[in-house]
Structure 1
């Protein structure tokens, strides 16, 4: 080893790492060398000569060491290395002599691979009177390198440590630290007697790259012999890990038309091996590109950084929208023979730029629109754009260049189809323009790319025809206002309110009619729109608002279909003095003695200024008593005071006429009557209660009301008396109805009661004749029997119904009859066949009239007494019993 430059260092120590390579097996070995730099040092007391080629020298005290000697001649260094020592260190002695000392050992190819040497002890220079001499110093252990993934056998010796005192006493060695007595445990071990240190299993640099241990030397009693020494163990990396991409798929983009050298994306692969060695140095390359158009090498990659850039021109999204690039990462600096590789996929999307201007599919378009229509699409403009759909480079914007100075049309873009929709935004008039010739231009939302020009096909012509429709007539002056005085006579022509038909090419007639005339004051001529009065116009009418009367008229043409328009006529009525003033108030009261109070009077006039006040109030001369008893004092133009002229006026109600005149031209007057109630007053001028009552009088309306009330009251009393008498009569009738001997079978009443029933309504007429013999009854045909004969066997017993309270007398009557029917032992129904409306084949009574034609021998009706209380009345009538 040579120093090729002068060594000028502030520190006395220089540490270097030496690496040895085997060019055939690519094996590698490393060593760390430490130099302590000094000047003009001597070896064995002699200044060595400086030589270009190093020579081997040995000192007398170096018989066992045979180490290299470092000579320093000024700044130059020479290194003499013993061939069996691979790792060496340079120690500084007190006298300045530099001697290369071994710091560890490691096998190397050839002859060095078979050399084994224990760790040797350094020497120190000692100055004495006779010169320099050497002596041993403390023990030193150099760093130890261990290759990872070693196959053993294990345990494998790494180094032997020993103290220079081991010849004098027995020493025990031990190690502490991570990998020994700290996790991971027992990676390293040491023979306590010999000091040989071993590794017990394969090492993995990616798991842990270095270990720091401490070696201890003690005697048999555990006393420290040497100070603990640090052991640094470095795991030497092997290429046992492939590069791994961060992502298996990378996505990037580049604009179409990009120049060569444009950055696209970066791919990154990491190698777990040592990045400072070739094992972890990754290189990139592109394996394949799909598609290979327009060139098979459109992209390149920086082998060290992984940056992908364009290498060729011609990227066109309209031809190729996406490229798929396979990228390979290889360690060992890209050596494909020895390195490990991995691949990833880079997807490169060619992004669109606006390099294709939109073009109309045809040069002319046409459409049609009815007049007076808005928001109508009259034509659809189609364009073609090869850029990416639904992007700013594709979205079309349409403009009208010429042909529409009034702004009747606009062009809106359909967001889906990109078509231009020509839309009417301002109504067109057939009578003004029958057709429009528009020139339109289309462009994109985004500006064109640099160097791209607009196409001549980006403009087109649009012809729009306007169709005529029947338009409604209109009044040129709508809300027409005229002014005239009120009170014009009927039939007066006020104005002509005519309409205009815009369809001047159709030659249509317009007819007029009233649509709204609240007071029915106006007439309109149906053909010319002349308006005349149908009644006198009165400004004071309730139909007048702010002196204005408003009417609406209709103008309709005779088109198909007919169209109509409306117009409003406003008539401002100027007031004339056509209303006389009215006196206010209509009633008042005053004290019977003068000078106690007065009556303030005024007037109301329906007219407006100047046909109203100031008013003139005066008393009429007839009758003369008015001016004799009363007087008027004027306060101002609108008010006056009425008071008594005489000293006393008897209490009562007096009608006082007053003449009120307005200030119109000509003036109008009105004689109004005020009812004045004269009453006695207290000292404050207020009418007293007694006086008010005494002076009070009833009017005709009050008297009529009182009479009506009296008549109503008498009518109510009379009705009450009649009702009471009728109720008394009903109560008397009730006592007759509840006679238990009375029978009302001649009247069948329905009270929603079941039972007692049909057999009481129809009778077998044969039962009215006395049977000749009982055999006739006993020998009747089976299944036919009289309804009044008792059944053979026990009679059915029927429960007595509980008496339910019933409101009113009729309820008592019904319950009494019900009890009598329930207690009748012969009452049907029997448990046998009942026959209704059966005349009987042997009946002697062919009809009811036979009742009067039978012989006297047949008139024995005593058996009727056996029929029970229901037939008691009949038995009394025919049997001669006593009547009640």
Structure 2
């Protein structure tokens, strides 16, 4: 249509005719020349502004109407040979295409003239704004780009940029550019190793690239990068591309080898111990502690040189681990943190230390030649298993030196003391003091040793009584009670292993019911109850007790009957309550088992053999009964898991002849569910739809079920098989628990409808329930709330009813908002 009109328009211009090519009415003219849309294309002479898209060729802009005595028009200004006016008709037109990139605004002056060419009106300013169209593809500022990336560079950290420009209007989407990577050569992985910022053109390694880039495997890559205008949001966008050649170089950012520093260095600190190099320029180096220390004796300068700032002590800390990080001027991490490991090497700077200020050793006077009599222990804080911590032992002196000066020998590398002769005699010397010299490669320390020569164990313990006769105790006596004190004596040297007495029950107590403890000062023995007594299991014990020494007897001496004693323990009976073998009885039954079914049997026994009777406590629901003689427990009424899933009662066992003697246990009954509850609506509320209905209304229904849903609830919703109901309503499933109720047409009256709905569950067998939904078709306010009139004869509702109605309406409003 525009082309035809434009052709006729040109003919009119050349013929200087009136605008007879155009239809007689303005509205028809606008219809034909549709590019003018709703603009007024004719009017009196005045200041005007026009917006004209660039390109498009010959076009009609506007027609100025003349007022007598004006008979023609004249245009001057920035016409550029394209803009002109038909003098007789006042038609302002283009005889070519405007170009936004050449000139965005044309400023003209239009005036009307009379027959003599004199100005009647004007000049008036006419401004033509050229509208940009997307007629320029974006262009990269280079045909090919090159860049270098370091191995293990941080993902997302740009190492180069590409840049493109577009000659179109930058204030429009025509010049909004989007960058992307079209191809990636080679691409050995499922994901690209590089990524580009779609806005800035910044190229950086991807997460995959940060991990996998390795010049040993592939040191060059070619990326085909594209740029689209129109922000890349349309298929009609112009696209350009450029190659990006990337060289992968080895990472300079590497963990240095483990740093070894000798402790207690006398160098002037700080001391250079290592250096790291970032892949990036102008970074800030910093140290980060792996573990919080009172102080970190290391620092780093801005050339990546790591220093130790003070002498180190291996005994204080034998190694250090910390991280070196690089940051940019915004404080953001540049490289991955490097963990630095420092090992402090030992020097021999610690003397040996005696483990005990005085080592005391006891030796029997008849100890054999070469016997190990004890060990001198010493430690060295220098590094273990090195020459710095190797200790050697030597006896420096022995006091007294009788009957010889070398009675003892110490193993040089173990500190074990041995006898060099059989010459120990307590009558000659009962004590010896040794000075033991302990040395490492640099230091030495003296340790004191005292050796006590003790009497040989040639005397056996002798009981003061060979028979302690009888002890009678009740079976209820607590564990730990002393039931008897016994005494034996030993003629060997006091306070030695030869005279200390150990009492043991030798016979008559196979279950260790009794234990005997010794007073170390008096050697008196205390017989105590070690385990609970039980008259029914063991009413009497016939005990044989022996007395021995921890030191072995000398050859030729043996224990005999003098080291034995006897006594009997009589246990008296105490009436005890019945005993249950279990503290808790657990059972599982289905909730639908018949009344009178056996669910459990409990048993208790009386230690004295009394007859036991059973009863229940805590059966608040009266679900159970128990046979008092047998302990059989039956159901007394119908069980219901929905009331209580785990039912707990107490079973009491008491003696028939003495009901005060009783004990109690717990019975826990776990009820298994059966499908005995039909589904129901999760909430009980009226539904409403605003009158008149417009179609598409629906109300939200939710079902629930009191039965246990072992996997998930699943309900089906359906309407009652009634013609009227099915013609007016329909139900559609939302999910396993929800459905929509919808009117099937809009021809409903303002009244309350009862809609019968059947809800069924997925039990085996399934259960269903009919629900009569009350649906109000009623007038609504502009807020979509429903006004429900209360039917009362010639009177207003009472205050209580009005409040009730208001609450109902508010509930309906809330429901409506929820559904929306």
TM-score interval, normalised by the smaller of the two chains:
0.3 to 0.5
Greater share of strand residues, 1 or 2? 2
Q: TM-score, normalised by structure 1?
A: 0.36
